[in-house]
Amino acid sequence: MDFNKVLDRKNTNSMKWDFAAERYGSSELWPMWVADMDFQAPQPVLDAMQEVLDHGIFGYHRRPESLKDATTEWIRTRHSWNVSNEQLVFTPGVVPAISHLIQTFTEKGEGVILQTPVYYPFYMLVNNNERTLYKNPLKETDEGFTIDVENLEEQMKAGAKMLLLCSPHNPIGRVWTEEELQQIAALAEKYNVLVVSDEIHADLILSGVHVPFSKAAEGYDVETITCMAPSKTFNLAALQLSYVVFEKKASQKAYEAHLQRNFVGIDNPFATVAAEAAYRHGTEWLEELLVHLRENVDYLKDQLESAIPEAHVIKPEGTYLVWIDLRDLGMDKKELEEWLRQEAGVALSDGHIFGDEGAGFVRINVACPRTHIDEGVRRLKEAYERTIQAAGRKS
């Protein structure tokens, strides 16, 4: 697989390439937002989908046991975590799954903890479901971002019912260590908090080891519900297939009943065969992808920090999303937004959308060919040089 091959995604109804105007006000901006990849899925996935297309009948479809076999085998080999087929419940996306989990396991007004800055739809999940947001901002240290264990305990003590964990963490790219996860588990046990662990990025590990929260918490009396998917790993997001792993039968039954009440669960044959082919035959593709992503992260860091000395690129341990500290440019969030759009002409994810703590940061997606990074950096560099020159003329 040549991850540097440029494929034209324009005019394909791609959110990243065709809908920047809707979000950023201009279609001329260089797109570096949206967490998907500019790569084709692995060939076995394309072949399996082609077979379904050639058959040409798209009537009601049920997910076969073989998809569950492939999924649990993947989790066992990739994450050394023993999960049985019976523990899986498929859902059309992790975000909708979390919404259903919130509705099933908490009441209106009850507290859900988010560790901020965090993937911004998490806020909508809490707010739209009329739950109360309990915030545990990540702690910024000389070694990077960590979990504020003391404040987490305060939030749990204050009565929060659920912790929505993002592991690995989008947008800051941390792969939480087993020790960090066990600190959370100890508190969740003490305060009887349900942990919903969003592990959609679990396969995208650039350094360190991903430990499923449920596995890290094995020695603790704490219930974990884990959300996973092949969508980030193999670039299948639009196929809308994800799954939830339950530990307790009673909880699983409650969730399944909730889904039935809401008529969630029409299965899609393209998603079924794509996910199964990816899990059965995608390992080699994924290993090559990870090499490419690591190289892109290093390249972006090198290029951007030499173009803009005030930029600090935080190397992600996981995900293909890079968190960049631009606070030293000295702009407030409005000024930075305007500068990125109007001066540099780039569509990046503004840090503040992930929470107030993200102000002054941006998130860049490096799941793209190398030349895509070059163009983004070129635009940022030229804008920076113009800004410096203009400031020099004024002083």
Ligand X SMILES: Cc1ncc(COP(=O)(O)O)c(C=O)c1O
Q: Where do contacts with ligand X occur on this chain (CB under 6 A)?
A: 35, 93-95, 119, 166, 170, 198, 200, 229, 231, 237, 242
Residue 159 CB, nearest approach to ligand X (Å): 25
Question: Nearer Cβ to ligand X, position 16 or 379?
Answer: 16
Comparing CB distances to ligand X, the nearer of 100 and 301 is: 100
Strands 132-135 and 111-114, bridge-based pairing: parallel
CA distance 30 to 185: 42
In the complex with ligand X, which residue's Cβ is closer, 93 or 144?
93
Report the residue number, 93 or 137, with the smaller CB distance to ligand X.
Answer: 93
Judging by DSSP bridges, how do beta strands 144-146 and 139-141 pair with one another? antiparallel
Tokens for 40, please give them: 């084709």
Cα gap 14→19, rounded to integer Å: 7
Smaller CB separation from ligand X, 17 or 387 = 17
95/331 with CB nearer ligand X: 95
Cβ 289 to ligand X, closest distance in Å? 16
The b/e string for 4-13 (b: 16+ C-beta within 10 A; e otherwise) is eeeeeeeeee
Tokens of 92: 């059309």
Closest CA to 100 of 320, 214, 263: 263
Q: Which CB sits closer to ligand X, 98 or 308?
A: 98
In whole angstroms, how close is the CB of 223 to ligand X at the nearest point? 20
Give the shortest CB-219-to-ligand X separation in angstroms.
26
Contact partners, residue 230, CB within 8 Å, separation at least 6: 74, 236, 241, 274, 275, 278, 279, 282
Minimal distance, residue 77 CB to ligand X, in Å: 22
E strand intervals along the chain: 30-31, 88-91, 111-114, 132-135, 139-141, 144-146, 162-166, 194-198, 224-228, 242-245, 312-314, 321-325, 346-347, 349-350, 361-365
DSSP code at position 205: B
In whole angstroms, the minimum distance from the beta carbon of 123 to ligand X comes to 12
Question: What is the residue whose two structure tokens read 């569950």?
Answer: 68
Nearest distance from C-beta of residue 381 to ligand X, angstroms:
28
